[in-house]
Structure 1
Amino acid sequence: MTGEVGPEVTALEETLEEARKVADAVLYEGYVLYPYRASAHKNQLRWQFGVLAPPAYAEERSAARTECLLEPGGGELTVWVRFLQVVRRAVEEATGDGFRAVPGLEVDGRPLLPWEEARTVEVTARVPVATLLPTGQVVPIDVPGGQEYQAVTDASGTVRARLVRTRWPLRGEIRVSAQPLPGPYEALRLRVEVENRTDTPDVPGRDEALRHALLAQHTLLAVTDGVFLSLLDPPEWARPAAEACRNDGTWPVLVGPPERPRVVLSTPIILEDFPRVAPESPGDLYDATEIDEILTLRTMALTEEEKREARATDERAAQVIEQTDQLPPEVLERLHGAVRYLRQAGERPRTPWWDPGADRSVSPQTDSLVISGVRVARGSRVLLRPGRRRADAQDMFLAGRVAVVQGVFHDVDDVTYLAVTLEDDPAAELEIAQGRFRYYLPEEVEPL
């Protein structure tokens, strides 16, 4: 006899599925970058996000901490700590009496290359919320090392080489605890600490340390009952508690339906609340800092030899090549752009804080200041004398030119700048219409 799954459980599972899509994008961000070849300079220095190094390597952190706020309703808290474990892939050529290591090899036109792969590791902790307050809970991280061999044969079935994949053991712990917030709201401050405790007495450099590191480490938290509170936009009563949360090496955001957020994703990459993978994206390109359309077009433009090396570099790189080569035109067209939000007709956007219109005490069009006894305002002619300490090359090129002041501006630190256009610039009218000016300090101009 099987029981029915309730709507609450189904909704939570759907939220977790959405969270894992974002988490996977974070997990493999930068794993292999365009042009997806092992020989490319961009792929020589890897593993930049969420590295928890072994304690013996003091150059990078060995622990991360997540703190977030929860309004509990009882039930259970589940914590998933996820990271990558380095797997070194070496190439060995078959000899008459065994194998020998080589920097690379081809078998029937198929290149074999050494590379550092990775495998996903997930450690789960399930804790009744009620048990967190007295003592918390400690969950060990114990990931075994090992070595695997993959024979490579030619068309005749003869073993010509083998791939040797080596991974090193990882040890650590997850500490989950909670602290009640003062006041009548019965909320909790949750803390999840992840620490790498792998014993590695000899770590001469970063490459060796990464073999014993937790890479791209991030955390998922979910409650069966209760709701998490945003640290970015908390309710007013929780704002002091949100500001007191300390997150080290990671940042928690809400995931799922905004009306009842029961899942938190804490990652080494700062995200906004309720992140999601763009529906237009056809697959992971492992470089979310790039524009999908541009990256896809550049990948499609790789030469066949470059694609051949990319396929040999990593299985994920091979998937990117196949994905872009087989991309239907209508999918590529969707990458060109999308409208996420439209205002209601007649609705006016609020003036942003940085716009001069938000502060009636300033008026760039009418404000003025005195320089060397001369009042300077919009329309004044000045000689540009850029200072050497602040000016860049573009400013220095304009030294001695005559400019016309278009406004007097103040930045957030209340420093005054003159917005100017060059008097003899034929594009000055266009720059004025678009609000594109050059900015100089008062001491960098001479009134005329």
Structure 2
Amino acid sequence: MNLDPIADIAKAVLYEGYILYPYRPSSVKNRQRWSFGGVFPRIYAEHEPSEPWMMQTECLLYGDRDTPIEVRVGFLHLVVRDIEVGGTRVPSLDVDGKRHIAWEEALERTVAIPALTVGELSDDPRTVAFGFAASEQREPILAGSGQLAGEWVRTTQAVSGCVRIDAQAAATQTWQVGIRIENQSPITEAEFYPRDVAQRHALVSTHTILGLEEGAFVSLMDPPNELRDAASACRNIGTWPVLAGPESQRRMMLSSPIILYDYPKIAPESPGNLFDSTEIDEILSLRILTLTDEEKREMAGASEQARALLDRTESLTPADWAKLHGVLRRPQPEPAGLKPGDRVRLRPRRRADIMDVVLKDKVAIIEAIERDFEDRIHVAVTVLDDPGREFGLDRMPGHRFFFAEDEIELLPPETAS
């Protein structure tokens, strides 16, 4: 599976919440990290019901029994990073003006499952086991003179689990595919508490990528009318699948613990990952520059990612800052063939409320074409036979209604009545 089209957004999901502003281990915000997409050992989750031991994705695709599907599961595997000096563990170490801090990092893990046809998965659901062994690695910390000042000691605990994949017919030439990720890591009673100890056996920032060489995935956010019931029947636990990659294709789906819209993208103006996508790049970057020198030393010692973020932010040029400030996306063209004053027949598709049922097939007048903050088009109409239509012209609720482009039918003048 070629992940290039969604590599950036998948990486952003993987490292969301990895380290939060102000990017220092001493900050309260960073004392409980790894908040997204955690899948804990089942034996631990049974004692702590708030922590899940499994994650499940269900989605729809168009195809036949011979349509192959690839699945790739990604997550972070926690690493305890200690500093040892003369056989003693210490919380930090200053060497030649550079601060080294004991903390946690993570390794990127991937479980890639070779392509299987939906027919094979329907006849014989597959279970693929995976495991990563415990390890300990040591790395010297050297002074500028070459003298040994201490050692990094990086330790991982064993993690293991399985990925269960199945498929079943949902409609004509349409299949429901399910991917269930389970954490089966064996841990002992002594490891139940505290949470941060059990988390070392967890799958962190867990997400699933699905790919097709042929066929097409169905948007669960906006499925076609004939598949709305099948889409509603998809049960997603701890994750949400959206279409990803080029918008002209429906060959990839990203199932993320962070709620996204179809075809998510990284803003081209962003200089790099800030690990906190709930913030605005410009504001967060400006805040980094306000840190004191001592705070920046701690940030640089927190992790290589934090050090790179600090270096990148301090090297931003005036042109880089200008890109971040006041970005205006090029507006999309207005809907072809629609304009205020046109007469249309209402064809509600989403049936979001009772008004969609009441207004079905009514003739209306387009009063405005508006765009929301997510760049979606909304056509504002007043209903022709509404006795209070003048209130709609004054933008009064209850007499002015909004529909999507595909929910209205333009009427030629001779049949408008």
- TM-score normalised by the chain length of structure 2: 0.79
**In the alignment, what sits opposite 1:43?**
30
In the alignment, structure 1 residue 113 sits paired with structure 2 residue 105 = no
Question: Distance between the aligned counterparts of 2:327 and 2:121, measured in 1?
Answer: 44
Question: Distance between the aligned counterparts of 1:31 and 1:321, measured in 2?
Answer: 15
Shift of 1:135: 0.9
Question: Distance between the aligned counterparts of 2:79 and 2:179, measured in 1?
Answer: 27
In the alignment, structure 1 residue 66 sits paired with structure 2 residue 57 = yes
Question: Distance between the aligned counterparts of 2:332 and 2:34, measured in 1?
Answer: 41
Question: Distance between the aligned counterparts of 1:351 and 1:261, measured in 2?
Answer: 25
Question: Distance between the aligned counterparts of 2:382 and 2:80, measured in 1?
Answer: 56
- TM-score normalised by the chain length of structure 1: 0.73
Q: Deviations over 1:159-188 (max 9, x none)?
A: 121110000110100011100114xx2210
**In the alignment, what sits opposite 2:81?**
89
- Aligned residue among 241, 244, 252 for 2:241: 252
Q: Deviations over 1:51-85 (max 9, x none)?
A: 00111222200001000001125343111100000
In the alignment, structure 1 residue 339 sits paired with structure 2 residue 328 = yes
Question: Distance between the aligned counterparts of 1:46 and 1:363, measured in 2?
Answer: 54
Question: Distance between the aligned counterparts of 2:170 and 2:164, measured in 1?
Answer: 19
Instruction: Give aligned pairs, total.
Output: 351
Question: Distance between the aligned counterparts of 1:309 and 1:408, measured in 2?
Answer: 56
**In the alignment, what sits opposite 2:115?**
127
In the superposition, relative to structure 1, how do residues 88 and 358 fare at CA in structure 2: closer, same or farther (>3 Å)?
farther
- Aligned residue among 196, 203, 213 for 1:224: 213
User: Conserved in 2, the CA contact under 8 Å of 1:356 and 1:364?
Assistant: no
- Aligned residue among 262, 265, 269 for 1:273: 262
SS in 1 for 2:307: helix
Question: Distance between the aligned counterparts of 1:225 and 1:311, measured in 2?
Answer: 46
Question: Distance between the aligned counterparts of 2:225 and 2:397, measured in 1?
Answer: 34
In the alignment, structure 1 residue 234 sits paired with structure 2 residue 223 = yes
Shift of 1:363: 9.5
Question: Distance between the aligned counterparts of 2:389 and 2:39, measured in 1?
Answer: 50
Shift of 1:137: 1.2
Question: Distance between the aligned counterparts of 1:240 and 1:201, measured in 2?
Answer: 44
Question: Distance between the aligned counterparts of 1:131 and 1:108, measured in 2?
Answer: 60
User: Conserved in 2, the CA contact under 8 Å of 1:364 and 1:409?
Assistant: no
Shift of 1:260: 2.7
Shift of 1:205: 1.9
User: Conserved in 2, the CA contact under 8 Å of 1:27 and 1:216?
Assistant: yes
RMSD: 2.6
- Aligned residue among 312, 317, 339 for 1:328: 317
- Aligned residue among 256, 266, 273 for 1:284: 273
Question: Distance between the aligned counterparts of 1:351 and 1:226, measured in 2?
Answer: 32
Shift of 1:24: 0.7
Query: Which is higher, the Rg of structure 1 or of structure 2?
Result: 1
Shift of 1:343: 4.9
In the superposition, relative to structure 1, how do residues 344 and 156 fare at CA in structure 2: closer, same or farther (>3 Å)?
closer
**In the alignment, what sits opposite 2:149?**
160
In the superposition, relative to structure 1, how do residues 101 and 125 fare at CA in structure 2: closer, same or farther (>3 Å)?
same
Question: Distance between the aligned counterparts of 2:36 and 2:60, measured in 1?
Answer: 24
Q: Deviations over 1:305-357 (max 9, x none)?
A: 21111111100000110110111211111111323342547673259999998
Decide which moves more: 260-269 or 343-352. Answer: 343-352
In the alignment, structure 1 residue 77 sits paired with structure 2 residue 97 = no
Using the aligned pairs only, state the percent identity: 39
Unaligned runs of 5+ in 1: 1-11, 367-406, 411-448
**In the alignment, what sits opposite 1:311?**
300
Shift of 1:224: 1.2
Question: Distance between the aligned counterparts of 1:200 and 1:330, measured in 2?
Answer: 52
**In the alignment, what sits opposite 2:343?**
none
Shift of 1:28: 0.4
AA of the residue aligned to 1:92? E
Question: Distance between the aligned counterparts of 1:259 and 1:108, measured in 2?
Answer: 54
Decide which moves more: 126-135 or 142-151. Answer: 126-135
In the superposition, relative to structure 1, how do residues 154 and 344 fare at CA in structure 2: closer, same or farther (>3 Å)?
closer
SS in 1 for 2:369: coil
AA of the residue aligned to 1:196? N
Q: Deviations over 1:252-304 (max 9, x none)?
A: 00012334300000000110001111111110000000011100111122222
User: Conserved in 1, the CA contact under 8 Å of 2:37 and 2:205?
Assistant: yes
Question: Distance between the aligned counterparts of 1:260 and 1:356, measured in 2?
Answer: 30
